[in-house]
């Protein structure tokens, strides 16, 4: 991922003022250099607009510097993202008479705009945030757009002098704008449409209409395989983030299988530039559940596996940097971002510039354990819709900013536009947790990859139950954070929280601690308002509490708060009478694994991961 900063509508300025403005744009753009350490570009357009770009070179590193242009440079664009169907679009545009200056996947945007105007955005298959300036009609006009789900971050601000500011991260505009906000995913903003937002992404699931399409395992599997393989488009070394859970394991399995086939086809070589083996990466405290599970999956898939360790103190020392880069005070996001932030630095040190990750699956398939309590399929489906729409403030933000802090790009195939269309069109009755039918959470996804004869994963991995990332790296990680926060926040401070932080008042010492750091870094009220929240609860939405009041009893958003769901969902007698062993981490303080009986008809040997 790259970093973009645009200042638009400056108007005619005296040379001295224009020079001062340019210097300021350069200074602010440097705040995004971590996102794009490979090259910096700045274009001043008609003395009215400035487009700045910090480049992370993934496609065409030699000639794809930005901003990018059409043939006569009358259309200028700065892009953060990847356009996976750029070759198809390039062929069509070339046939229509367009010529290209670079091999960059993003150059097609300028030419598509020439052909189709602002209506071209839905033609892009990829993730992106961009700002485009058109000078063809005497005076400059501009448009900006953000990808469907908000995988790439984007903020918009308004200066007191009438300027419009657009940036990949808040830190480049928060102290220059009278007001700023999150640029909404799936929208475009245009000067020719009255400086208003317009929604360009509006799939059938967006209005939460309940679908009725029968479940087709082969169609779901094929859509996901396409989503993964298109994200192998790269000219630089890459790998996969592998925690050993279902989602990251499926990503790794599909990528490894594709690379193996490519290597065979090319008679011993491949086009990916870092050997013939897929590289996988995992992080955790020594002895953590993730490290053990990831090693098992890596051994099965035959990846070149890299295991990174960190200590609780390493994580605590990084908290301020994590909050600066992620630009949030959300407790769960910071807990999970910190190990990812530390791992990304290690990965980048190996020369890797792109990784593929498993975010988005839980939102699409109802994988969070409170979905066990969904009262019916309608409520189940509507909650998945709400969670997908909120991803840009949680998991997308974490995955993008925690990796981009070190100039590393994270790609997320579960959030592929076409895959989401297929997955969200399934009748949600199939996604419901049904112990009586042997269906645990995300059963439709697990079943789609239960291929006899040539399995993608062993069944006990395919049916392993969810481990929240911040727990999986080691349970003492969260305990250490709480203890550190308690040593910095007194009871008296917390009792006065509603006066110090009247908006999204923190209710725990950990939340208070993060909020103190955030407001020191980003003191403006609009910055505070960009973070969603309210009192931390065991699940991320109030809707879950409506389903079952037990979720409101535990103020900790850790996956450990879902212990009752793990046990209650699987504790009764099964028809087969099979017994399954819970790992040590499920039984707090237990020195030996505990055995429980399960209600499901899950295949023998299936481990239930905490």
By C-alpha distance, which of 360, 336, 354, 328 is closest to 406? 354
CA distance 283 to 289: 10
How far is C-alpha 78 from the chain's CA centre?
21
Q: Residues with Cβ < 8 Å from 232, sequence gap 6 or more? A: 238, 255, 258, 259, 272, 356
CA distance 42 to 66: 8
- Please give the structure tokens belonging to residue 201: 């992404």
Q: Residues with Cβ < 8 Å from 62, sequence gap 6 or more? A: none
Q: Residues with Cβ < 8 Å from 200, sequence gap 6 or more? A: 121, 122, 145, 186, 187, 188
Within 10 Å of residue 353's Cβ, how many Cβ atoms? Answer: 23
Q: Does residue 64 have a known ligand-binding role?
A: no
282 a catalytic residue: no
The strand pair at 75-83 and 68-69 is best described as antiparallel
Mapping DSSP to helix (H, G, I), strand (E, B) and coil, where does residue 42 land?
A: strand
Q: Does residue 357 have a known ligand-binding role?
A: yes
Burial class (CB in 10 A: 0-12, 13-18, 19+), 444: buried
By C-alpha distance, which of 410, 248, 399 is closest to 328? 399
The length of the chain, given as a count of residues: 610
Judged by phi (left if over 0) then psi (alpha if -120 to 50, else beta), residue 273 lies in left
Write down the catalytic residue from 2, 10, 49, 396.
2
Q: Does residue 241 have a known ligand-binding role?
A: yes
* CB of 401 closer than 8 Å to CB of 327: yes
DSSP letters spanning 542-603: HHHHHH-GGGGS----SGGGGHHHHHHHH-S--SS--EEEEPGGGSTT-SS-EEEE-SS-PP
Q: Where are the alpha helices (DSSP H) in 30-72?
A: none
Where is the binding site, in residues? Answer: 105, 241, 283, 357-358
Q: Which residues are catalytic?
A: 2
Where is the binding site for ATP, in residues? Answer: 241, 283, 357-358
Where is the binding site for L-glutamine, in residues? Answer: 105
């Amino acid at each position: 991922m790259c970093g973009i900063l645009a200042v638009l509508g400056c108007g005619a300025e005296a040379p001295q003022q224009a020079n001062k403005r340019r210097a300021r744009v350069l200074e602010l753009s440097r705040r995004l250099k971590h996102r794009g350490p490979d090259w910096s570009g700045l274009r001043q357009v008609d003395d009215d607009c400035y487009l700045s770009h910090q480049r992370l070179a993934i496609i065409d590193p030699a000639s794809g510097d930005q901003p990018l242009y059409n043939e006569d440079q009358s259309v200028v664009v700065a892009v953060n993202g990847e356009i996976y169907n750029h070759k198809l679009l390039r062929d069509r545009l070339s046939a229509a008479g367009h010529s290209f200056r670079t091999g960059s996947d993003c150059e097609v945007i300028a030419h598509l705009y020439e052909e189709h105007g602002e209506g071209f955005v839905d033609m892009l298959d990829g993730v992106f945030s961009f700002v485009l300036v058109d000078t063809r009609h005497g005076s400059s006009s501009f448009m900006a757009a953000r990808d469907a789900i908000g995988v790439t971050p984007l903020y918009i601000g308004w200066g007191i002098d009438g300027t419009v500011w657009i940036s990949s991260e808040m830190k480049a505009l928060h102290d220059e704008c009278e007001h700023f906000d999150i640029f909404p995913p799936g929208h475009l903003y245009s000067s020719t449409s009255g400086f208003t937002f317009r929604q360009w992404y509006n799939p059938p699931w967006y209005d939460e209409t309940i679908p009725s399409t029968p479940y087709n395992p082969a169609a779901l599997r094929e859509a996901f395989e396409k989503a993964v393989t298109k994200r192998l488009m790269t000219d630089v070394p890459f790998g996969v983030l592998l925690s050993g859970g279902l989602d990251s394991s499926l990503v790794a399995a599909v990528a490894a299988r594709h690379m193996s086939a490519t290597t065979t086809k090319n008679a011993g070589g491949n086009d990916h530039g870092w050997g013939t083996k897929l590289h996988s990466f995992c992080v955790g405290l020594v002895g953590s559940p993730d490290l053990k599970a990831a090693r098992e999956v890596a051994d099965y898939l035959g990846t070149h596996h890299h295991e990174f360790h960190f200590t609780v103190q390493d994580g605590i020392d990084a908290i301020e940097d994590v909050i600066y880069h992620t630009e949030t005070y959300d407790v769960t996001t910071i807990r999970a971002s910190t190990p990812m932030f530390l791992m990304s630095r290690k990965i980048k040190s190996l020369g890797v510039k792109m990784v593929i990750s498993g975010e988005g699956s839980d939102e699409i398939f109802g994988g969070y354990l409170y979905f066990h309590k969904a009262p019916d399929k309608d409520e189940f489906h509507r909650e998945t819709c709400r969670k997908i729409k909120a991803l840009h403030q949680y998991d997308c933000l974490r995955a993008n900013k925690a990796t981009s802090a070190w100039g590393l790009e994270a790609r997320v195939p579960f959030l592929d536009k076409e895959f989401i269309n297929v997955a969200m069109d399934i009748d949600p009755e199939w996604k419901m947790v049904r112990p009586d039918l042997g269906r645990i959470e995300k059963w439709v996804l697990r079943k789609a990859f239960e291929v006899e004869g040539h399995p993608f994963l062993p069944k006990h991995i395919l049916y392993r139950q969810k481990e929240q990332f911040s727990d999986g790296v080691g349970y003492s990680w969260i305990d250490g954070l709480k203890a550190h926060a308690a040593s910095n926040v007194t009871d008296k401070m917390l009792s006065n929280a509603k006066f110090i932080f009247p908006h999204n008042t923190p209710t725990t010492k950990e939340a208070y601690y993060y909020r103190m750091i955030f407001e020191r870094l980003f003191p403006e009220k609009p910055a505070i308002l960009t973070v969603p929240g309210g009192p931390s609860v065991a699940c991320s939405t109030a809707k879950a509490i409506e389903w079952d009041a037990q979720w409101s009893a535990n103020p900790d958003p850790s996956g450990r708060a879902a212990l009752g769901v793990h046990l209650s969902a699987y504790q009764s007698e099964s028809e087969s009478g099979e017994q399954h062993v819970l790992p040590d981490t499920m039984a707090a303080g237990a020195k030996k694994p505990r055995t429980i009986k399960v209600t499901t008809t899950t295949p023998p040997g299936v481990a239930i991961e905490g």
